Amino acid sequence: MKYLISLCVLIGTLFGAEIVPSHTIEASGIVYQIEVRGSELLAGTSAGSIDVYKLSDATLQEKILFPKIKDFTGDEVAPKIFSVDKMEQRYLAVVQATSGARELYVVEGGKPRVLIDAAANLIISKAKFVDKNRILVALLSNELILWDIAKNKAVYRTQLNPSHFSDFALNESRNIVASSCESGEITINDVNSGKMMKVLKGANVDNVYKVDFKQDKILCAGQDRRGVIYTLSDGSHIRFDAPFLIYAGAISPSLTYAAFAFNQENDIVLFNMPTHSKTHTLKGQKSTLNTILFASEKELVSSSDDKFIMIWRLP
């Protein structure tokens, strides 16, 4: 039986234990998406680069540049990097192309190579490695594509629902994907076959900007100011109500904490999941948050719609 725990947190209650970032990174350009892979932090930027940082001390390790494109005036400009990932020594990027198109690149040995070019006419929103030979690709049209790198073709292409795509997250085994969209529904699909396994709905009533997937829990960051955490096995959920749109969120690896972008001041609020109680407020991000990630149980990384990435050490 589904149940709901609604925790209405007033703005005045946010003045509790505060944490400031241990490191602040100024990236090459506006940051569109970040990813943590092992000891590295990847950032896709407006400067046409993937910036690679050492997570422990925030030092820049590498900068991968992509070919310039022509804007509407015919001038050459750096492309925006919308999505980034890494597996073994391969990097993955969704890159802006000319005339509003997007391309999917893989980078090996520092050399970018196009997997899906602009001629395919696919508006790619996000892409992640499933394994070293396959990539899960999400389109703005809310379609999922499993792409075979060696054969350079789609294994399948499936429509999730008619609403525009927002985000997806893979489970730890990368065999199940949770996808969100403007409808507020979360679709659960088998990665290998593309078949839909379940639809989670009823907790969010508007666009779910971001999702996270850890063990049996799926976090939803909603335009309806609802932070929701579903239990996949039975479809039940808990809910955290915010005073502002929740643009991003994440769950810690052990399911102890949930972190949500929480208010107009761009604070991140940390909740204890077992007790459903607020524990800390993370202050420092200056613009609208677009990504929150747990690098470990005691380490959190966030980025916003500017050049700044912040690394937080939790007590």
The number of residues making up the chain comes to: 315
- pLDDT tens digits, one per residue of 92-127: 999 999 988 999 999 999 899 999 999 999 999 999
Strands 217-222 and 208-214, bridge-based pairing: antiparallel
Q: Is the pLDDT of residue 61 over 50?
A: yes
In this prediction, residue 2 carries a pLDDT of 34
The CA–CA distances, whole Å, from 246 to 128, 134, 138, 186, 209 equal: 23, 32, 22, 16, 8
Q: What angle do CA 90, 251, 226 make, to 5 degrees?
A: 120
Q: What angle do CA 6, 11, 14 make, to 5 degrees?
A: 90
Q: Which residue do the tokens 């899960």 mark?
A: 136
Token reading at 182: 């403007």
Confidence of residue 6 (pLDDT cuts 50, 70, 90): very low
CA pair distance 188, 198, nearest whole angstrom:
5
Confidence of residue 197 (pLDDT cuts 50, 70, 90): very high
Domains and CATH numbers, the chain: 6-313 (2.130.10.10)
Residue 11 identity: I
Instruction: Return the biggest CA–CA distance within the chain.
Output: 58
Token reading at 21: 């970032």
Mean pLDDT of the chain: 94
